[in-house]
Amino acid sequence: MTDGIEIWRGGVNTWECDEMGHMNVRFYVTRAVEALVGLAAALGLPHAFAAQAGSTLMIREQHIRFLKEAHAGVALHMTGGVLEMGEDTARVLMLLWHSDSGALAASFQTVVAHVTPAEGRAFPWTAGTRALAEGLTIDLPDQAAARSVSLGPVESTASLARADDLDLVRIAQGAIAPADCDLYGRMRPELFIGRVSDGIPRLIRSFREAVVGGAAEKPQRVGGAVLEYRLIHLDWPRAGDRFEIRSGLKDADTRTKRMIHWMIDPQSGRPWGVSEAVAVTFDLDARKIVPISDAARAELMKHAKAGLAL
């Protein structure tokens, strides 16, 4: 098996870590987006994210596995390659490594489209890019494979009206600023997961209380961590566009909670994007998962939204 070619290298800044003491999810995605620039260059598209680009790569969706915490001061690097390539899309794999230990920090299966920069219109890959992609073929390690979420096709059910019908919690709302946008005027990909992260306490506080209340060994300090994520971008807001994020609990088992987040345009009622997250309650002192007892799960399931999906 090959780990691919190196496409990014750096580390973790203190200001990138959140109240859980580890790098926040938005900065994982920031690194994956930057690494995509390096992978594009290896595919013969060295100017794909520059002002003079003839074509660029648009992220359609990401599957992320968070595997080992990254704390302030650690060195990281990323490798990548191509899993499969269609007529005008590709599924690429990027692996974020702890440089000193060699442990895998996170994995990103990312579906990208080959598009015109301004309009975002998809068009076929060139023969040259296809030839280079063959030399960049990478194997999917077990650690990067989907575990608790499906990567199958999705016909999204998200809308503002549906969110109201399901009584989904509004965990965030606001507007896209110019600084939130990329060179082509579209919202940067890390904004979706970042705004979910900002707003998640509004949804999850009572869930954590239920888990801790039912735990055999009650931790003194608790937080949360995400193990797996699927994000699907359905449209791209631009500067001045408004959004709200509506969220709900899908289900829970003995370790994890599965939540659905919809990023919605409150003007049109249509979704900007949808995501599914698999999260745990985390003992901040022992740095381990707090199990969900039968009683806690029964309490959690009172809040689950029947029929909630991407």
Domain boundaries along the sequence of the chain: 1-145, 154-310
pLDDT of 3 above 80: no
CA distance 243 to 262: 10
CA distance 31 to 12: 10
pLDDT mean over 230-239: 97
Average pLDDT, the chain: 95
- Report the CATH number of the 154-310 domain: 3.10.129.10
Residue appearing with tokens 């606001």: 174
CA distance 294 to 291: 10
| Structural element, H or E, at residue 42 | helix 25-42
pLDDT mean over 101-108: 97
pLDDT of 196 above 60: yes
Is pTM beyond 0.75 here? yes
Whether 1-145 and 154-310 share one fold: the answer is yes
Cβ–Cβ contacts within 10 Å for residue 143, how many? 13
Q: At the topology level of CATH, where does 1-145 sit?
A: Thiol Ester Dehydrase; Chain A (3.10.129)
